Chains A and B, each alone.
Chain A
Amino acid sequence: MFDIFFKILKTPKNTIPILGNDPDQADIVAVGEKIEAKVKRLFRGSLAVRQIDAGSDNACEQELVALSNSFYDIERFGIHFVASPRHADMLLVTGPVARNMGEALRRAYEATPEPKIVVAVGDDAIDGGIFKDSYAVLGGVNSVIPVHYQIPGDPPTPKTILVSLLKILEAVDTAPVTSY
């Protein structure tokens, strides 16, 4: 057991710094009605995210999983993934809503307590992407539940997602610049 600990202590820190001002990283499109500042301020300290796979091709899932590795380390901003929509503040929906996932998605939306933010991640979730107009797909997430933000990209890089999330909460410039 002790060799593991030595190995851990020896490996260098590799968490990337998130700087407030690099413009190309944040790629966010606000849709639907606006989220009040009070709600954003509430979630700035701690945000519970529930990821819903509405028929996605797992491209966006890989990126979202990468968010919690030591490189991007989403936890340092107080954002953590939760198991049940009841505990969630934000719903990250990926994938063009497949026909039989529509009802489940709507139920998840119902089960999430107010105030909540819905973010469609990836082109499929935004408007169906490459699967647009197919008989098995209901199109974008907004055809089932109201969407507040969209993160384009097929799939968007983890950094884009991370910075976009901070941008949604307008936490980028206030969040401590984690360079160490």
Chain B
Amino acid sequence: MIILIWTIQLILTPVVSPLCIGIIKKVKARLQNRRGASIFQPYKDLWKLLHKDEVISSNASWIFYYAPFIIFAVTIVVGASIPLFAAFLNNTLTGDMLVIVYALAIGAFFLALAGMDTGGAFGGFGSSREMTLSALAEGGLIFSLLTVALISGSTNLFAISSSGVFAQDQHFLSALLALCGFFIVLLAETGRFPYDNPDTHLELTMIHEAIILEYSGKRLALMEWASANKLLIFIALGVNLFFPLGLADNGGVDAILIGMAAFMVKIFICCLIIALIESSMAKFRFFRLPDLLLVSFILNVVALSLIQ
């Protein structure tokens, strides 16, 4: 039974993540009064890309060839070590918050190197901006997870999600501030709206897309899928650490089903919020983003100091 739950936990992230992208695109289309593609369109895109040939630039090195696999595998590993639908699986091996942050940093590392590898102007600038943002966002990310960890007394994510953060009312304010800080960092890390427009065509404004301009075929599919996984991971972290209601706390089949359903509902709400933000806000100028990330860092520091 546990093995079954673990396999679900392993495959849940890659399976559900294109759905999030689909939902966000659908809601944005609806808000632009368009009908938009079906929410399963990303699956079709991935399936098509996996069946296409590839054109790879001549001065790409082995890093360009293997980066997509490494980044995708990192998102799988991180997906397996965060609470998705079940809080009782205490994965003490890689479930620590710092392991998650620095594992995602491996993904960012190889993403940026892949961007620089083919020597195009856009790839270079994309990875430079991507690294600048992820460097500045790291402070806010670690501190928001730290606040939640200190409230619940352990840095293991499964332990945090099993002990409700908003349950203890004297820590309510610091949990709230940590949530706001975390949400700002979520938008930064996954390249969503105020930081980077995911479906822009103007190469000069791209941050994340500029890196995958060079990819095609199955490697492009893996890169898209990995960024979708990363989005799901951050949503799952945001949702399950702060609002762990509905997470299964025992191995029972009903608890698991409720957990999965609750997880889906929470993901839908979060994607709705992200789409609403993307439709109501303009993309910030690049040099105003550090101030936003500093705001997130300050929020988390204040939250941290309010705990005692």
A interface residues (Cβ-Cβ under 8 A, vs B): 1, 4-5, 8, 11, 13-15, 42-43, 45-48, 69-70, 73, 75-78, 80-84, 86-87, 89, 110-115, 178
Contacts and interface: CB of A to CB of B under 8 A. Distances in A.
A13 B29 CA distance: 12
Interface string B1-37: 0000000000000000000000001000101111111
A178 B44 CA distance: 19
B48 A83 contact: no
B48 A42 contact: yes
B216 A113 contact: yes
Contact of A76 (B35, B199, B203, B213): B35
Listed from nearest, the 9 A-B pairs whose CB atoms lie closest are: A45-B44, A86-B216, A46-B44, A114-B53, A70-B34, A46-B45, A70-B33, A84-B213, A83-B201
Interface in B145-182: none
A59 to B, nearest CB: 20
Contacts of B49: 87
Nearest to B216: A86
Nearest to B120: A84
Contacts of A14: 33
A76 to B, nearest CB: 5
Nearest to B30: A8
B51 A42 contact: yes
Contact of B220 (A42, A81, A87): A87
29 contacts: A1-B280, A4-B280, A5-B280, A8-B31, A13-B33, A14-B33, A42-B48, A42-B51, A46-B41, A48-B48, A70-B33, A73-B29, A73-B36, A75-B25, A77-B37, A83-B206, A83-B213, A84-B213, A86-B213, A86-B220, A87-B49, A87-B220, A89-B52, A111-B55, A113-B52, A113-B54, A113-B216, A114-B52, A115-B53
A76 B36 contact: yes
B95 to A, nearest CB: 36
B296 to A, nearest CB: 21
A56 B206 CA distance: 26
B209 interface: yes
A104 B200 CA distance: 22
B215 interface: yes
Given A80-B37, A83-B213, A86-B220, A45 B48 contact: yes
Nearest to B47: A45
Contacts of B202: 83
B214 interface: yes
A46 B40 CA distance: 11
B25 to A, nearest CB: 8
A124 B226 CA distance: 41
Nearest to B54: A113
A87 to B, nearest CB: 6
B139 interface: no
B48 A75 contact: no
A13 B34 CA distance: 8
Contacts of B215: 86-87
